[in-house]
Structures are given as structure tokens and as C-alpha cells.
Amino acid sequence: MVPVNTAAVFTAIPAWFKHAPADGLTLPDFVVPLFLFSLGLSASISFKARFRERGYGKTLLHALVRSAVLFAFGSIGILLVDHSARWEILQMLGATSLFSFFFLLLPPWPRLGAAALLLAGVEILRPLGLGSLMLAWYDTGIAGPWGTFSLSFFAITASALGELMKDVSSEKRLVRSALFAGVQCGAGLLALPLFPFSKHLVSLSYVLFTGGISSALLALLVLAGEIWGLKPPVVGSMGRNALLLYMLHALIGVGGQALLGNDIDAGLAWGVSFLVLGACAVAAIVLDRKRVYVKL
């Protein structure tokens, strides 16, 4: 997310490293699904623990406050930067987090069924007017507020997968995440002739295929980390301060854009993008070692 967001403003960055402007699928189009998939995985762990310790009421209150703060951060940020009422990524995360929360009350398999029904409901309502509402927010890249329902699919299914993987062996984790990947990618490709890939309208093929790729990457992490014993550097430190680093990279990126402009050459644009990533990585490592964490 960090280099993709930073690079997006520079005209010299090639199209494959920017979101597809219309129908189609580029590398950055996988970022939002991966982010929401990660959110769902962590929710499957934290929800049960918090529910046992504090009960449903306090857990719901925490979810409400957390979602509201995310939404407020996004709203304030977009007003300060764009002076507009656009739908920003943190607003989407706040809305999606809250909507997905109630699905955590279901056992894993019924939750997966509910997620499938949710997607089916979106596709039924799309020609009846929902599609037009999404189209009105096309420039947000995630169908505005109306994309919440489809985007929640990533978090809901990932939370169910997380519970199904939690107390089993590494080998079973690998098999289950790989099976999820195969089923979703296959379903996404089957849907492709009727529903082209579109992040802007959160199309059915886009949701299913990118959700499958997210599961496939999880399978690779299980294979590398748990079976082969390889630990990806820095990733854990960045994950423990995700919100702070997201805000930090945005501030650095805006500063770099103001200083250099949008029309710098490709080499400098790439350099700035990955320099921001490096700065965030260093900040993550330092904060992690000092055990300083910003959480909601």
C-alpha cells in the first residue's frame, strides 16, 4: 500500500503500478482486498478473546468506537487534502469494519454462507439500482459507500478462514488456505465473461479472484513461515503499527509531492516511492523495539 499510494501521483510511473482506470486488473488493485483480508484474519483472533474477557456489549462498543475513529480520520484527511466530500480509504475501512463485525457472531461455515448470500444479494440489486449508485461514486475507485457490502466479503470470509485454521497443524493450514484460494480464484474466472474485473464497481469477478489471491498469499506465508521456518523481515513490525504507518506514509507522500511536483522523471519517482516505504519500515522497527504501538 505504501509504495503504491506514493507512486500514484507521479505521471512517469507506469500504468501497471497504478490502479486500472476502468475495467481491468493491475498490481495495485490487489492492495485493498489484501488489506481487508488481513483485517478479517486478525478479527477472527481478537474478537473471540475480547468477547470472552469483556462480553458482547463492551466488544460491540469497542467496534463502534474503532470504526467511528477510522471514519473520522478519513473524513478529516480528505477535507484537509482535497477540500471535498469524497469517499476515502479510511472511511471505507470504518464502514467495512462495522458492517463485517456482526458476521463474527456466526460460526465459521454459516458465516461463509452468509458472505456468499451477501455477494449474491449485491448482484441481484445491481441491475435494480445499486449499480447506478456505485457508478455515481466511480472516481473513488471503490464504489463509494455502496461498495461497503461487496468489500466486506473479504473481511468476513477471511475471519471464517482464520477460525478454521486457528487450532490445526501447519499442514492443514496450508491445505485449507490453498483450497480457499483455488475455489475463489476459479469462481472469479468463471464469473469473468459476464462480470469484467472492475475495482471501481467492485465487480463479482474482482471480489472473488482477488479474494482467492489473498488466500493464496496466506498459503505461501504458512508454507514459508511455519513449514520452512522463513520469517519475512519487517512485516511483523509494520503490522503492529499499521494505522500509524498508514498516516505517516500519507504525510511524507504529500510533502514529497509538494516539494517535487508530479512530473519528475521515472527514476526519481520510483526512488521517492520506495524511500517512503523504507522510512516507514525504519519507523516500524524502532517503534516495535521500543514497544510503542498506536492502536484503536
| Percent of the chain residues past pLDDT 70, beyond the cut | 98
pLDDT band (50, 70, 90) for residue 231: confident
pLDDT at 49: 84
d(CA 148, CA 79): 21
In whole angstroms, what separates CA 42 from the centre of its chain? Answer: 12
HSE value, Cβ hemisphere, 13 Å, CA-based, for 209: 22
d(CA 28, CA 44): 26
Q: What are the tens digits of pLDDT across the range 96-150?
A: 999 999 999 999 999 999 999 999 999 999 999 999 999 999 999 999 999 999 9
Q: What are the tens digits of pLDDT across the range 33-60?
A: 999 999 899 888 888 888 888 888 888 8
Least confident span in 18-22, 167-171, 252-256:
252-256
Report domain extents, the chain: 28-231
pLDDT at 84: 60
pTM given for the model: 0.92
d(CA 94, CA 70): 5
pLDDT at 89: 87
d(CA 122, CA 150): 7
